[in-house]
């Protein structure tokens, strides 16, 4: 019986392959590793280890642009910073779509909202423009408190919280998450949380689950018919991270929505408004996780502290200081490069038949960009595994190399990129203004090898916070 089923499935695959080949009619598709019937190259994501390293190893063999067969679909992986820029920036309109994936459709009510919307449509462009305007107005303080002041308040609360953990072995990740989450919630709801607030703990738990499910090559995304399997569908559909109404229950408790207030004028976008808030809330709260471990070296800490002492004295830094604190800002940028927290970015979709570097890219091809390798490629970065803020400084000023892509680029670039840089700058500067970060005696050095989810997070780590003897 098993043999007959296998033979039947193989025949279907062969017929489908022949039809596809005739349909392509001489197209030059990017090179691909060998695949197996039905599943294609899905097995490459089941080898163990981070997906970005697996794709890097394939790219070493097949080049800067290669393809993978994922079930019935085709994916193309961009393996070089220049190729990524060509596709997402210079051919941005052609690669502005999002693929339809079962996991994200559950999360986003059938792929709605800014982050997950499939089409590069006029409605989506208006939606994004309104959201970008609202974020910009909040940053500038138009008709609201400037975001810099909100961050400053949260950094002050952060150093107070951390002072309670000083001179002992501490896990500071929750305090960091609270600081960043409070900035976002203050913008959206005019509401902040305390570190032991049950609602904050619920949001933190949902955020952790959210990052765990966003992984490339998930079998249910590649072969949606698997959702009819009772055991698989039951597990996925009951996960809190996929229970959309449960996720939004926290948001529905809030009555004041400030950051996207202008979007309320467009009543057709009410459900997208919630999804936009959800994206900002849960995607931004992981951004700073790598910074303290990235700057653990005494050399970097001292250079940041000496720069602040010369420039701003003993007060906490603000974003207005960033032009005068290039080494601190360089450390922030280096932390973003070194961590590459969105290692493969958000997958894109070709919205039409097009070409890229001489290869044919059929419509609806999924595009993965190996941002992690773009940030570690020795062709663009000298000694990429070393933490060197100096690589972002030239003639005393900060500059952004073209291979620096932490928030992606083009039509789908992260809306919160400037906000993230502001937060990181003020949080990192605030911590190092008040404390020396040391590795606790008897504990291993924190590893910069991340947990291999789509959104990279650091392995759990402990630190020893040593208060600095400065006059506040």
- Say which residue, 161 or 415, is predicted with more confidence: 161
Higher local confidence (pLDDT), 300 or 291: 300
pLDDT confidence band for 243 (50 / 70 / 90): very low
Pick from 336, 444, 326: which is nearest to 390 by CA?
A: 326
- Compute the average pLDDT of residues 121-148: 79
Distances (CA, A) of 94 to 97, 319, 411: 8, 36, 10
Q: What is the mean pLDDT of residues 15-25?
A: 49
Strand order in the sheet with 366-369: 65-70, 73-78, 366-369, 348-349
CA atoms within 13 A of residue 124's CA, in its CB half-sphere = 17
Query: What is the reported pLDDT for 450?
Result: 67
Q: Is the pLDDT of residue 219 over 70?
A: no
**Average pLDDT of the residues in 80-99:** 91
pLDDT of residue 235: 43
The least confident of 85-89, 427-431, 442-446 is 442-446
Statement: residue 177 has pLDDT above 50: yes
The number of C-alpha atoms within 13 Å of 384 and in the hemisphere containing its C-beta is: 17
Number of structural domains found in the chain: 1
Q: Distances from the Cα of 31 to the Cαs of 35, 39, 65, in angstroms? A: 12, 18, 8
Residue ranges making up the domain that contains 384: 2-467
pLDDT on residue 318: 94
Residue with tokens 């849960």: 282
Asked if the structure places residue 105 within a domain, the reply is yes
Residue 242 confidence (pLDDT): 42
pLDDT band at 208 (very low <50, low <70, confident <90, very high): low
Examine residue 253 and state whether it is found in any structural domain, yes or no. Answer: yes
The pair of structure tokens assigned to 371 is 């941002």
Q: For residue 441, is it within any domain?
A: yes
Domain contains 122: yes
Mean pLDDT of the chain: 76
pLDDT of residue 271: 43
pLDDT of residue 17: 54
Give residue 173's pLDDT band: very low, low, confident or very high (50, 70, 90).
Answer: confident
Kindly indicate the confidence band of residue 321, based on its pLDDT and cuts at 50, 70 and 90. very high
Q: Using CA atoms, how far apart are residues 195 and 244, in angstroms rounded to an integer?
A: 25
Identify the residue with better confidence: 150 or 129. 150
Q: Is residue 472 part of a domain?
A: no
Residue 113: predicted pLDDT: 64
Handedness of CA 351, 355, 361, 362 (dihedral sign): positive
Q: Looking at residue 63, which CATH number applies to its domain?
A: 1.10.630.10
Within a domain: residue 357? yes
Under the banding of pLDDT at 50, 70 and 90, the label for residue 380 is very high
Q: What are phi and psi of 467, to 5 degrees?
A: -60, 140
Q: Which of 4-18, 142-156, 183-197, 272-286 has the lowest average pLDDT? A: 272-286
Work out the pLDDT band at 211, boundaries 50, 70, 90.
low
Per-residue pLDDT at 404 exceeds 70? yes
Angle (nearest 5°) at CA 402 between 322 and 351: 120
Residue 393, pLDDT > 80, answer: yes
Is the pLDDT confidence value at 205 over 80? no
Confidence of residue 237 (pLDDT cuts 50, 70, 90): very low
pLDDT band at 9 (very low <50, low <70, confident <90, very high): low
């Amino acid at each position: 019986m098993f043999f007959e089923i296998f033979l039947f499935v193989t025949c279907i695959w062969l017929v489908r392959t022949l039809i596809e080949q005739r349909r392509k009619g001489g197209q030059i598709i990017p090179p691909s590793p060998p695949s197996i019937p039905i599943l294609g190259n899905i097995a490459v994501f089941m080898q163990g280890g981070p997906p970005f390293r697996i794709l890097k190893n394939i790219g070493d063999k097949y080049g800067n642009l290669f393809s993978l067969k994922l079930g019935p679909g085709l994916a193309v992986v961009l393996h070089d910073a220049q190729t990524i820029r060509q596709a997402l920036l210079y051919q941005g309109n052609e690669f502005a779509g999002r693929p339809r994936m079962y996991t994200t459709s559950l999360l986003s009510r059938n792929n709605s909202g800014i982050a997950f919307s499939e089409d590069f449509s006029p409605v989506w462009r208006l939606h994004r423009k309104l959201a970008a305007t609202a974020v910009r107005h909040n940053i500038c303080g138009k008709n609201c408190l400037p975001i810099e002041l909100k961050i400053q308040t949260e950094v002050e609360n952060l150093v107070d919280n951390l002072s309670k953990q000083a001179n002992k072995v501490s896990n500071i990740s929750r305090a960091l998450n609270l600081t960043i989450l409070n900035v976002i919630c203050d913008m959206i709801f005019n509401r902040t949380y305390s570190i032991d607030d049950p609602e904050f703990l619920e949001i933190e738990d949902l955020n952790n689950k959210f990052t765990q499910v966003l992984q490339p090559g998930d079998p249910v995304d590649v072969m949606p018919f698997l959702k009819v399997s009772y055991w698989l569908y039951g597990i996925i559909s009951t996960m809190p991270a996929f229970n959309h109404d449960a996720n939004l229950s926290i948001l529905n408790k809030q009555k004041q929505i400030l950051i996207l207030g202008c979007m309320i004028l467009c009543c057709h976008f009410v459900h997208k408004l919630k999804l936009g808030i959800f994206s900002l809330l849960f995607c931004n709260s992981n951004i700073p996780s790598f910074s303290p471990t990235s700057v653990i070296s005494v050399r970097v800490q001292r250079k940041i502290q000496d720069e602040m002492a010369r420039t701003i004295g003993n007060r906490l830094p603000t974003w207005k200081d960033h032009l005068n604190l290039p080494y601190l800002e360089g450390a922030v940028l280096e932390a973003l490069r070194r961590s590459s927290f969105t290692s493969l970015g958000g997958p894109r979709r070709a919205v039409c038949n097009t070409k890229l570097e001489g290869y044919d890219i059929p419509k609806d091809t999924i595009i993965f960009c190996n941002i992690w390798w773009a940030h570690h490629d020795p062709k663009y970065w000298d000694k990429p595994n070393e933490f060197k803020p100096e690589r972002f400084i030239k003639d005393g000023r900060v500059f952004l190399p073209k291979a620096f892509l932490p928030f992606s680029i083009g039509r789908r670039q992260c809306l919160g990129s400037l906000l993230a840089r502001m937060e990181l700058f003020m949080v990192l500067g605030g911590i190092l203004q008040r404390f020396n970060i040391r590795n606790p005696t008897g504990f291993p050095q924190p590893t910069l090898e991340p947990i291999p989810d789509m959104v990279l997070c650091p392995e759990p780590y402990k630190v020893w916070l040593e208060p600095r003897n400065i006059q506040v």
